[in-house]
Amino acid sequence: MTSDQEQPESAPAGAAQAEPSGSTAPARGRRRWWRVTRRVVLLSVLAGLLALVGSIGWVRWQASGHVYAIEDVPEAPVALVLGAQVHDNGSPSGFLEARLDIARRLYETGKVRAVLVSGDHGQWTYDEPDAMRQWLIDRGVPDRKVVADHAGFDTYDSCQRAVRVFGVRQLIVVTQSYHIDRAVALCRDAGIDAAGVGDDTARRFGSFWTKAVVREQGACVKAMLDVVTGRDPVFLGRHETGVEDALRD
**pLDDT tens per residue, range 117-169:** 999 999 999 999 999 999 999 999 999 999 999 999 999 999 999 999 999 99
Q: Which fold has domain 63-248?
A: Rossmann fold (3.40.50)
Provide the 3-class DSSP secondary structure of residue 206. Answer: coil
Q: What is the Cα–Cα distance from 128 to 97, expressed in whole angstroms?
A: 11
Q: Is there a contact between 157 and 234 (Cβ–Cβ < 8 Å)?
A: yes
| Structure confidence at residue 190 (pLDDT) | 98
The residue with greater pLDDT, 95 or 46, is 95
Sign of the dihedral through C-alpha 73, 77, 82, 86: positive
pLDDT digits (tens, 9 = 90+) for 19-68: 455 557 677 777 777 777 777 777 777 766 776 677 899 999 999 999 99
How much is the average pLDDT of 180-192? Answer: 98
Each domain of the chain, given as residue ranges in start order, spans: 63-248
Cα torsion angle, 200, 204, 209, 213, sign: positive
